[in-house]
Amino acid sequence: MAKARLRFDETTRYLLGRLWRDWVSPHWRTLISVGLSMAAVAAATGAYPLLIDWTYTLFAAQDHRVVWLVPALVLGVTAARGLAMYAQNVQTSHIVYRVTTDMQARMFDHLLAADLARILREPPGGLISRFTNDIGIVRNAVARTVTNLIRDSLTVVALVGTMFYLDWMLSLIVLVIYPLAAFPIVEIGKRLRRASIDTQVQMGETTSLLNESLSGARMVKTYRLEDYERGRAGGAFERMYGLMMKMTKSRARLDPILEVLGGIAVGGVIAFGGWRVATGAGTVGQFTGFISALLIAAQPVRAIGTLNTVLQEGLAAVQRVFQLLDEKPAIVEKPDAPALRAGQGHIVLESVEFGYDATNALADFSLDVPPGKTVALVGRSGAGKSTVFNLIPRLFDVRAGRVLIDGQDVRDVTLASLRDAIALVSQDIVLFNDTVRANIAFGRTGASEDEIVAAAKAAAAHDFIVKLPDGYDTIVGERGMRLSGGERQRLSLARAVLKNAPILLLDEATSALDAESEGLVQQALARLTKDRTTLVIAHRLATVRDADLIYVLEAGRVIERGTHAELLAKDGHYAKLSRLQFRGDGEDAAASSEPAAV
């Protein structure tokens, strides 16, 4: 990639330029206001040494204005500076929070539009870290850059102007010494950016590890994996500690450099200034005012000196944000793609080839799901069943062949119309930490209350919902943790009922349910699949024996097809699976109340 070939300084310019162009410059009106506030702060700060010089002059002349006018001026200058600092802080925060909030929103939109493969490629903790750790670093860097680059620079300019006004010869001494700090500051900044990138990556890995460990607490405790998890977490924490210390040592080098150079400057000024006062070439007021200006300038000069380190850390985070935003999705609509034409939901896969890596998950795979019929896919784990489900709503694209719905290639129609035509009910139930009503309404946002209740009744969910503490307004908890497995699955079915899509994908919809819950869900499924094109994945053959057609998959290929009875009569792979599950040679599936999973 062209950007990767840029030299380090060019990369810095690129990142700063893009940050300014895309994110900061739209707020130029607020930036002007910030600049005016900061100019007022700088002017008030630069006035202090002049007041000191004038006060010494009044003392020497025994002028009574030193009693009432000087305090009034000091009060006026400090009040003006305080008001300007308040305005500057509020306006700067507005820009910083607006920029980083917009970044978070853009990143989230980008991930929502990203391919499923992209989202699965990075652990959730790593993605969350980009929204929290990386954006936090960007926020700090933007705030420091706006403040130090404008306010502190203006303050230093005002104070340098004051120093030249008081004594230009002493000012030259200072201006010769301080620029010497630029060289080590730049080198330290380079190291910090590299270390910061490593630290942010490690933060993402640590966040992911903690999320994984805590979400799997039941298994960790049951299998007594506390020591194992403690070791994993401890290793991650130690790696983080090492990276943080590396960054701390780099940052810590700056203060001694600036301190020593400041000491040299002050020492030189005292020696030379004292000589000038002693010889009568300068006054005590001028000397005192100059020293005051020099000491006041020390803080903003130090802030500007450390700005490069903060900036490099921020640019490392910005680089990661831009890398995410610059990723191009593989699943994109063709220009001016039409909507999927309404049809009966006839699904055809023609000679499909697909793989998640170099190997094929499907090879020369063909499938025909007649409209309004129920077709089941069975086979061992890894046979390719879930891959077929991923290709129909175009979560992935085929390498070869076509996926057709009512004769239309799914790559030629809009994604919205394609996915509106498909409803999914999976064993991996996704419920959000919201109300029961909201979780059902996700099937079709904008549905009326009557439609939501009707969908719940069709999914055999209404009766248990009304018994909940707040009925349809009950919060289900994260991933529906406050509900039983059967209740969660019935809400998932209600969502599919409400969507009322012509195509239904059922992925092990009853595999994890008890007998009573499974019975209720099966009744709801029977109503849901009636006159609807349905594709079913099931390991438990008892759930697919009434399917209109069954495809048996092995290593990404169809090895058998037919009805339950036809496949048993063939005495092939399906019949073998049936015997393994039902523990009988040719025994009818209904004879077994607890078929074993393949």
Element (H, E) at 24: none
Nearest to 155 by CA among 79, 44, 78: 44
- Please state the φ and ψ torsions of residue 319, each to the nearest 5 degrees: -60, -40
Dist. CA 368–CA 95, nearest whole Å? 56
CA distances from 177 to 58, 182, 185, 267, 271 (A): 33, 11, 14, 11, 15
Strand order in the sheet with 533-537: 422-426, 503-507, 533-537, 374-378, 549-554, 557-562
User: Quick one: tokens of 407?
Assistant: 């004769």
Strand order in the sheet with 362-369: 362-369, 347-354, 400-405, 408-409
Dist. CA 559–CA 574, nearest whole Å? 9
Residue 2 has pLDDT above 60, yes or no: no
Question: What is the predicted pLDDT for the residue at 408?
Answer: 92
Residue 410 has pLDDT above 60, yes or no: yes
Dist. CA 139–CA 144, nearest whole Å? 9
pLDDT digits (tens, 9 = 90+) for 166-197: 777 766 766 666 565 555 555 555 565 566 66
The larger pLDDT score, comparing residue 356 to residue 244, is at 356
Cα–chain-centroid distance for residue 413?
29
pTM given for the model: 0.70
Side chain identity, residue 22: D
Question: What is the predicted pLDDT for the residue at 238?
Answer: 78
pLDDT tier for residue 332 given thresholds of 50, 70 and 90: confident
pLDDT digits (tens, 9 = 90+) for 83-98: 988 888 888 888 888 8
pLDDT digits (tens, 9 = 90+) for 477-534: 877 788 887 788 888 888 888 888 888 888 876 665 666 666 776 777 777 777 889 8
- Is 572:551 a contact under the CB 8 Å cutoff? no
Domain boundaries, the chain: 18-201+248-326
Q: Which residue has the tokens 């694209």?
A: 397
pLDDT digits (tens, 9 = 90+) for 137-146: 888 888 888 8
CA distances from 393 to 108, 414, 504 (A): 21, 11, 11
- Please state the φ and ψ torsions of residue 408, each to the nearest 5 degrees: -110, 125
pLDDT digits (tens, 9 = 90+) for 297-318: 777 776 776 677 777 778 888 8
Residue 403 has pLDDT above 90, yes or no: yes
3-state per-residue secondary structure call for 248-264: HHHHHCHHHHHHHHHHH
User: Quick one: tokens of 392?
Assistant: 């129909």
The stretch 260-280 carries a mean pLDDT of 60
Residue 230 has pLDDT above 70, yes or no: yes
Dist. CA 218–CA 220, nearest whole Å? 6
The larger pLDDT score, comparing residue 117 to residue 34, is at 34
Q: ∠ at Cα 185 (4, 27), nearest 5°?
A: 65
Residue 3 has pLDDT above 50, yes or no: no
The two beta strands, 374-378 and 533-537, are parallel
Dist. CA 519–CA 261, nearest whole Å? 81
Choose the weakest-confidence range: 101-105, 411-415, 424-428.
Answer: 424-428
CB count in 10 Å sphere of residue 186: 12
User: Quick one: tokens of 123?
Assistant: 């652990």
- Is 223:213 a contact under the CB 8 Å cutoff? no
Residues 6+ apart with CB under 8 A from 319: 11, 15, 197
- Is 525:538 a contact under the CB 8 Å cutoff? no
Question: What is the predicted pLDDT for the residue at 283?
Answer: 62
CB count in 10 Å sphere of residue 197: 18
Dist. CA 24–CA 100, nearest whole Å? 10
Residue 440 has pLDDT above 50, yes or no: yes
Question: What is the predicted pLDDT for the residue at 348?
Answer: 92
- Is 394:375 a contact under the CB 8 Å cutoff? no
Nearest to 145 by CA among 306, 29, 299: 306
Half-sphere exposure of 155 (CA within 13 A, CB side): 27
User: Quick one: tokens of 198?
Assistant: 């490593």
Question: What is the predicted pLDDT for the residue at 104?
Answer: 87
Sign of CA dihedral 577, 581, 584, 586: negative
User: 18-201+248-326 maps to which CATH number?
Assistant: 1.20.1560.10
DSSP string, 74-85: HHHHHHHHHHHH
